[in-house]
Amino acid sequence: MMKYLDRLEELIISLLIGTATIVIFVAVLHRYSSGLPIPGVQDWLLTINMSWAQELCIYMFVWMAKFGAAYGVRVGIHVGVDVLVKQLPDFWKKKMIVVGILGGVLFTGIIGTLGAHFVWEVGMREAVATRFGFDWPDLIEGPISPDLELKMWLVYLAIPIGSYLMCFRFLQTLVTFIKTGCLPHHDIAHVDGIDDELYEGTDGLQPVVGDHQKGCKE
Amino acid sequence: MSALIIFSLLAVLMLTGMPISIALGLSVLTFLFALTQVPIEAVALKLFTGIEKFEIMAIPFFILAGNFLTHGGVAKRMIRFATALVGHLHGGLALGGVVACALFAAVSGSSPATVVAIGSILLPAMVKQGYPKSFGVGVIATSGGLGILIPPSIVMVIYAVSTNSSIGQLFIAGIIPGILLAMTLLTVTWIVARKRNYPRLPKASALEVFKAFKESIWGLALIFVVIGGIYSGLFTPTEAAAMSAVYAFFVSVYVYRDMGLKKVPQVLLASASMSSMLLYIITNAVLFSFLLTSEQIPQDLTAWMVGLGLTSVTFLIFVNILLLVAGNFMEPSSILLITAPLLFPMAMALGIDPIHLGIIMTVNMEIGMITPPVGLNLYVASGISKMGLTDTTKACAPWILVMLVYLTIITYIPQISLWLPNLLYK
């Protein structure tokens, strides 16, 4: 179950960045190729309207950013200032790390709730009422995006979903840390294809790994 | 007063080691909730609208392009071309490394990526040729800094977005300081190499140089796609970034064939998560600067500074010290996002050119990348050289001095940064 969520998260953000790239690429190609006087083709190109591409790209990246931030918690990509914490004795270090993670839980939880409330007020309430025929007072139709004419509350839905997912990931991290003392660790220094043998016998020094990472799987 | 509260709150939260983005957001929430009447619901909307700008989207595209280039064999061919050019001099491979970093910087917008791309190929070769490893690490980690100075540059995009400056002008402004820094590093490397008699490579014939050039032409052409495209107005910076991502994909997979299609999802995922992390910091930093503005903090600080009678000379000293210190604790994008909204109005009040300030900040960030404990270039260089972080730091220490001299020159001779953009844009 967890595995599916993990894969889905990865799939969504990869697809979003890939598609956004293609969308902008096609939009630019279209802009210049429709200026070429090729009979037939030009008329056809001019009938296609690509003005929505920028807007779509922005929304895709906003969604990517929210899901990607949650994925980032899982793989430990969010950087903090750990200079002080590293100097502390083990007991206090653990306490501080827990406080840090709880800060994440708190913030994403609050933002998720605020976001959900906001989305509800800005059009979801009206949409739900219309869809199911509820007779609620003061129904106001939410705003619509300028080019794609999407309902904005659908776009804003990224905030509560993303934040709650992120909150969940922070909780997951907390549980793992308390149980095993391991944190997800994004090794920025890791590079594919570096041949370890090249360095054999040079001086035997290895990049240092944080103390709390000893005995944790990569 | 509120400035003091906000920044102490931020400092305390950051020192717990929580992600910077979270610390920024939490200090905003705490302050708004406890001390003001600003409707807290506005915060959720800001989280969305904070990054709802097309200019910001250049960042994920540049990251994606950089990742394709790193894995796709473009770096390898650039190194071959660079060593063919300068390899016959004293310390040939090291000089080739500096040139290759400069070339790669012109297609990639990130410093650590430049260090990885060039260093992972060149460092092993240097060690084999008998260079002391610390020398190679120092050269590569420092030259990698060119990645954010020579356009395109992710750091410049962030500065432009948070101060409403023109990305195109900043990019153009980075060209001459970038070349100057490359020249400086080449000179220092050459002098040291000559003194210590580091190995030279056999001189490449004109034909060999041409062959290496032809091989790397696909990568080099990208320089013109990005800079030429933006300057001529063919593309907006974001479009140029997207085009270079597609181009880099095409070259890596179909022209050089150093990367299989199978690897594409991996590259996409890595780029997406790196971009999301940056976008998340940006969102929360926007929230933070929204709070600063609504509390009138930049205005108050500016008025206070003008009252002190600071000149632009002393102000810039202060800016440099502040940024160098901050560079020891945070990574570049966070520093820029937090400090730019404060420093920018002050600099404007003193008549400092916004583009010049951008270049000064970028050079400061470069130095921050090779100073411990959070210099990204140090981590990356330590990873690819399998050398401990302490030793990597020691290896880079002499280079920090070179960079400081260079920073002084850039700070007090604004013409270096401003001549080209003024020539082209006015």
Task: Tell me if A111 and B44 make a contact (CB, 8 A cut-off).
Answer: yes
Mean pLDDT of chain A: 82
Start-to-end CA distance of chain B, whole Å, equals: 42
pLDDT at A215: 53
Helix (H) or strand (E) segment spanning residue A5:
helix A2-33
Whether the per-residue pLDDT at A24 is higher than 60: the answer is: yes
Q: Per the structure block, which two tokens stand in for B198?
A: 């580091």
Bond into B332 cis (ω within 30): no
Q: Which residue has the tokens 């869809």?
A: A131
DSSP-derived secondary structure for A123-159: IIHHHHHHHHT---SS--PPPB-TTT--BHHHHHTHH
B23 Cα to chain A: minimum distance (Å): 8
B169 Cα to chain A: minimum distance (Å): 22
Task: Tell me if B242 and A194 make a contact (CB, 8 A cut-off).
Answer: no
Residues facing A144 on adjacent strands: A151
B26 vs A106, A158, A159: nearest CB: A106
Can you tell me the distance from the alpha carbon of B119 to that of B126, in angstroms, rounded to the nearest whole number?
10
pLDDT at A187: 61
Question: Best of A55, A94, A107, A161 to disrupt the B interface by mutation (most B CBs within 10 Å)?
Answer: A107
Q: Which residues of B touch A83 (CB under 8 A)?
A: 328-329, 373-374
pLDDT at A194: 44
Highest-confidence segment of A12-26, A70-84, B193-207, B412-426: A12-26
Task: Tell me if B120 and A114 make a contact (CB, 8 A cut-off).
Answer: no
Q: What is the mean pLDDT of residues A25-45?
A: 85
Query: Length of chain B, please?
Result: 426
Q: Which residue has the higher pLDDT, A99 or B42?
A: A99
Q: Per the structure block, which two tokens stand in for B72?
A: 């796709």
Residues facing B358 on adjacent strands: none
Helix (H, G, I), strand (E, B) or coil at A181: coil
Q: Per the structure block, which two tokens stand in for A74?
A: 């899982």
The interface predicted TM-score of the complex, written ipTM, equals: 0.87
Question: In 3D, which of A191, A185, A190 has the Cα closest to residue A217?
Answer: A185
Q: Which residue has the tokens 């070429």?
A: A36
What letter does residue A212 receive in the DSSP assignment?
A: G
Task: Tell me if A68 and B277 make a contact (CB, 8 A cut-off).
Answer: yes
Task: Tell me if A79 and B19 make a contact (CB, 8 A cut-off).
Answer: yes
Q: Per the structure block, which two tokens stand in for A168?
A: 């969940």
Task: Tell me if B16 and A106 make a contact (CB, 8 A cut-off).
Answer: no
A100 Cα to chain B: minimum distance (Å): 4
Q: Per the structure block, which two tokens stand in for B148?
A: 């954010």
pLDDT at B269: 95
Return all residues near A171 (Cβ < 8 A) that are at least 6 apart.
A105
Q: Which residues of B touch A87 (CB under 8 A)?
A: none
B17 vs A71, A100, A187: nearest CB: A100
If you measure CA to CA, which chain A residue comes closest to B275? Answer: A65
Can you tell me the distance from the alpha carbon of B110 to that of B155, in angstroms, rounded to the nearest whole number?
8
Percent of chain A residues past pLDDT 90, beyond the cut = 39
Q: Which residues of A touch B13 (CB under 8 A)?
A: 103
Q: Which residues of A touch B379 (CB under 8 A)?
A: 188-189
Burial A101-136 (b: 16+ CB within 10 A, else e): bebbbbbbbbbbebbbebbeebbbbbbeeeeeeeee
Whether the per-residue pLDDT at A84 is higher than 90: the answer is: no
- Count of A-B CB contacts under 8 Å: 232
A13 vs B47, B272, B280: nearest CB: B272
Q: What is the mean pLDDT of residues A4-30?
A: 94
Helix (H, G, I), strand (E, B) or coil at A194: coil
B61 vs A21, A78, A159: nearest CB: A21
A69 vs B16, B280, B379: nearest CB: B280
Q: Which residue has the higher pLDDT, A214 or B62?
A: B62
Question: In 3D, which of B39, B42, B30, B22 has the Cα closest to residue B5?
Answer: B30
Greatest CA span in chain B, whole angstroms? 73
Calculate the CA dihedral of residues B118, B119, B120, B126 and round it to 10 degrees.
Answer: 110
pLDDT at A216: 62
Residue-by-residue pLDDT tens, chain B, 426 positions: 788 899 999 999 988 888 989 999 999 999 988 887 777 767 767 776 777 889 999 999 999 999 999 888 898 999 999 999 999 999 999 999 999 999 999 998 888 889 988 998 999 899 888 899 899 999 999 999 999 999 999 999 999 999 999 999 999 999 999 999 999 999 999 999 999 989 899 888 999 999 999 999 998 999 888 888 888 888 899 999 999 999 999 999 999 888 888 899 999 999 999 999 999 999 999 889 888 888 888 888 888 888 888 888 999 999 999 999 888 878 888 899 999 999 999 999 999 999 999 999 999 999 988 887 677 888 888 888 888 888 888 899 999 999 999 999 999 999 999 999 999 887
pLDDT at A132: 85
Can you tell me the distance from the alpha carbon of A12 to that of A63, in angstroms, rounded to the nearest whole number?
9
Q: What is the mean pLDDT of residues A128-134?
A: 84
Confidence of residue A50 (pLDDT cuts 50, 70, 90): confident
Helix (H) or strand (E) segment spanning residue A114:
helix A90-119
Whether the per-residue pLDDT at A202 is higher than 50: the answer is: no
Q: Per the structure block, which two tokens stand in for B307?
A: 């009252």
What letter does residue A193 receive in the DSSP assignment?
A: T
Task: Tell me if B272 and A28 make a contact (CB, 8 A cut-off).
Answer: no
If you measure CA to CA, which chain B residue comes closest to A25? Answer: B243
Can you tell me the distance from the alpha carbon of A17 to that of B62, in angstroms, rounded to the nearest whole number?
12
Q: What is the 3-state secondary structure (H, E, C) of chain B?
A: CHHHHHHHHHHHHHHCCCEHHHHHHHHHHHHHHHHCCCCCHHHHHHHHHCCCCCHHHHHHHHHHHHHHHHHCCHHHHHHHHHHHHHCCCCCHHHHHHHHHHHHHHCCCCCHHHHHHHHHHHHHHHHHHCCCCHHHHHHHHHHHCCHHHHCCCCHHHHHHHHHHCCCHHHHHHHHHHHHHHHHHHHHHHHHHHHHHHCCCCCCCCCHHHHHHHHHHHHHHHHHHHHHHHHHHHCCCCHHHHHHHHHHHHHHHHHHHCCCCCHHHHHHHHHHHHHHHHHHHHHHHHHHHHHHHHHHCCHHHHHHHHHHHHCCCHHHHHHHHHHHHHHHCCCCCHHHHHHHHHHHHHHHHHHCCCCHHHHHHHHHHHHHHHHCCCCCCHHHHHHHHHHCCCHHHHHHHHHHHHHHHHHHHHHHHHCHHHHHHHHHHHHC
Question: Best of B7, B18, B30, B236 to disrupt the A interface by mutation (most A CBs within 10 Å)?
Answer: B18
Can you tell me the distance from the alpha carbon of B71 to that of B60, in angstroms, rounded to the nearest whole number?
17
B105 Cα to chain A: minimum distance (Å): 18
Q: What is the mean pLDDT of residues A163-181?
A: 94
Residue B202 near residue B83, CB atoms below 8 Å: no
Task: Tell me if B272 and A75 make a contact (CB, 8 A cut-off).
Answer: no
pLDDT at A193: 45
Return all residues near B375 (Cβ < 8 A) that are at least 6 apart.
B327, B368, B369, B393, B396
Can you tell me the distance from the alpha carbon of B147 to that of B117, in angstroms, rounded to the nearest whole number?
11
B280 vs A15, A65, A114: nearest CB: A65
Residue B363 near residue B410, CB atoms below 8 Å: yes
Task: Tell me if B48 and A156 make a contact (CB, 8 A cut-off).
Answer: yes
Q: What is the mean pLDDT of residues A115-141?
A: 84
B48 vs A62, A64, A99: nearest CB: A62
